[in-house]
Amino acid sequence: LQFPARLNCATELLDRWVEREGQGERLCMQAPGLRWSYADLQAQANRIAHVLVQDLGVQPGNRVLLRGANTPMLAACWFAIMKVGAIAVATMPLLRAKELAQVIDKAQVSHALCDARLAEELNLAQAQCADLKSVAHYMSDAADGIEARAAAKPASFLNVDTAADDCCIIAFTSGTTGQPKGTMHFHRDVMAICACWPPHVLKPVAADIFIGSPPLAFTFGLGGLVLFPMSVGASTVLLEKAAPDALLAAIAQYRATVCFTAPTAYRAMAAQVKQHDLSSLRKCVSAGEALPAATRKLWKDSTGIEMIDGIGATELLHIFISHTEEQARPGATGKPVPGYQACVMSDEGQVLPAGQVGKLAVKGPTGCRYLADERQRGYVMKGWNLTGDAYLIDADGYFVYQARTDDMIISGGYNIAGPEVEAALLAHPAVAECGVIGVADEERGQIVKAFVVLRPGHAEDGAMVKTLQDFVKATVAPYKYPRAIEFRASLPRTETGKLQRFKLKQSM
């Protein structure tokens, strides 16, 4: 992949369609009650860029925090930040003041653009943060709100002439343990992810209508719901609320063709597809955590669609191992995305042969650059990014996910991957969701314990425990069966749909 030395991703993803391709009138973004063409988004981003420079004093290289649910205004603010050569620090809508303050301090955020409806926690954070000079609000009818200021500005803006390797994104990992880590990405990284996975795996076309649930502060959402559709001149639907039922209704309403969400959401949606017209849907992408074979099958049986699984990471910006629908192999994540290389390594850094479980190592046009964090040394070794996942490669070169390396369960001398036991449990019709962890045991070191959410109409009793244990023993090696099963009404998950195993462990 070659990029010119000077590159601004807003020029390539947004202005290009209006100025070079003469496609300004094409539909770009929709939300309830709103339809923006590429020209509309460009004009809005340009006006906000003027607000940033003239009213707020943002300079190239400044870090600008974004806070808001998925909306076209959030996307317009993101492009405005790119246009002025600043760095977008997008944050999850549910973050509280303390977490926002950590992000502001760590990333040395000087300015913030915030959905007025989420102002409170950021105000509390600002009171503790000396770096943060100004907070401006959008979705507000105040006279000093972003919309009012923007309306008074010209609709054209000359983008700052950034270098391809100027930083433009600081994305924070969710940080299940310890302080959240900021990862830096350049303008060329943004263009690199658009050039790798979409054309080789997703194969979107300009007529596609993208939709999904991941927040734009999660790079899965930024890529899937903004960058990828715009890289081919397609359109996107941005939903503030995208719980499974709302997402299904929106797919039908907007006649969406490409959906991005997490495995658990597909599982929940599969149970309700009958109530909705999903005939427009063409491609369904699953990422964030492993896609169990049972969930893939459930979705295929209920919609006829073969899902596209892909593993990505904030550190690598987007998906690096995946597969097309034709190459789908239940239980496997796929093969390295063209442009990326991947292998499985021993703890000593030796490349392991097929069939052996080890550490996933990835190399490609994007990679990890932690912002001032000593954990960089643990993540990147000799140019290989170590994602913290245990994988094996099967005889046909497919990468098969095992577990997060620190989640491997060691019981009676056996290594057991919790997700494999979860996948076995999820194949049982009574199981809605489950999570498997290792819990300390005097005799075996650890034992396998499953937390199970049952579908309505099933009894949480000893007979069900026995049924599920026997069911698992019938499909995986018997030593992996969950010796303990606890029923729960729900499981702890992050805003990105990931099971929080550490919370299950803490609850013991």
Establish if 366 lies at the interface with ligand 3UK (CB under 6 A): no
Establish if 115 lies at the interface with ligand 3UK (CB under 6 A): no
Contact 54, 48 (CB under 8 A): no
Establish if 108 lies at the interface with ligand 3UK (CB under 6 A): no
For residues 31 and 291, which CB has a smaller minimum distance to ligand 3UK in the complex?
A: 291
Contact pattern for ligand 3UK over residues 270 through 289, marking x by CB under 6 A: -----------------xxx
Q: How far is CA 420 from the centre of its chain?
A: 22
Reading phi first (left if > 0) and then psi (alpha if -120 to 50, else beta), residue 478 is in alpha
Establish if 319 lies at the interface with ligand 3UK (CB under 6 A): yes
Establish if 17 lies at the interface with ligand 3UK (CB under 6 A): no
Establish if 311 lies at the interface with ligand 3UK (CB under 6 A): yes
For residues 171 and 256, which CB has a smaller minimum distance to ligand 3UK in the complex?
A: 171
Establish if 44 lies at the interface with ligand 3UK (CB under 6 A): no
Q: Which residue is nearest to ligand 3UK (CB)?
A: 312
Cα 474 from Cα 262, distance rounded (Å): 28
Maximum pairwise Cα distance, the chain: 72
Contact 269, 248 (CB under 8 A): yes
Establish if 405 lies at the interface with ligand 3UK (CB under 6 A): no
Q: What are the distances in angstroms from CA 428 to CA 112, 244, 290, 304, 423? A: 47, 21, 18, 20, 9
Min separation Cβ 146 and ligand 3UK, Å: 27
Report the sign of the C-alpha dihedral through residues 413, 381, 367, 327, in that order.
Answer: negative
Establish if 216 lies at the interface with ligand 3UK (CB under 6 A): no
Establish if 153 lies at the interface with ligand 3UK (CB under 6 A): no
For residues 18 and 345, which CB has a smaller minimum distance to ligand 3UK in the complex?
A: 345
The SS3 of residue 156 is coil
The SS3 of residue 53 is helix
Q: What is the CB neighbour count within 10 angstroms for residue 184?
A: 17
Out of 333, 366, 402, 469, point to the residue binding ligand 3UK (CB under 6 A).
333
For residues 85 and 365, which CB has a smaller minimum distance to ligand 3UK in the complex?
A: 365
Binding-residue total with ligand 3UK (CB under 6 A): 24
Q: What residues numbered 449-508 form the site for ligand 3UK, per CB under 6 A? A: 496
For residues 157 and 197, which CB has a smaller minimum distance to ligand 3UK in the complex?
A: 197
Min separation Cβ 388 and ligand 3UK, Å: 6
Cα 283 from Cα 341, distance rounded (Å): 25
Angle between helices 38-50 and 72-83 (to 10 degrees): 60
Q: What is the CB neighbour count within 10 angstroms for residue 325?
A: 15
Binding site for ligand 3UK (CB under 6 A): 173-174, 219-220, 287-291, 309-314, 318-319, 333, 387-389, 401, 404, 496
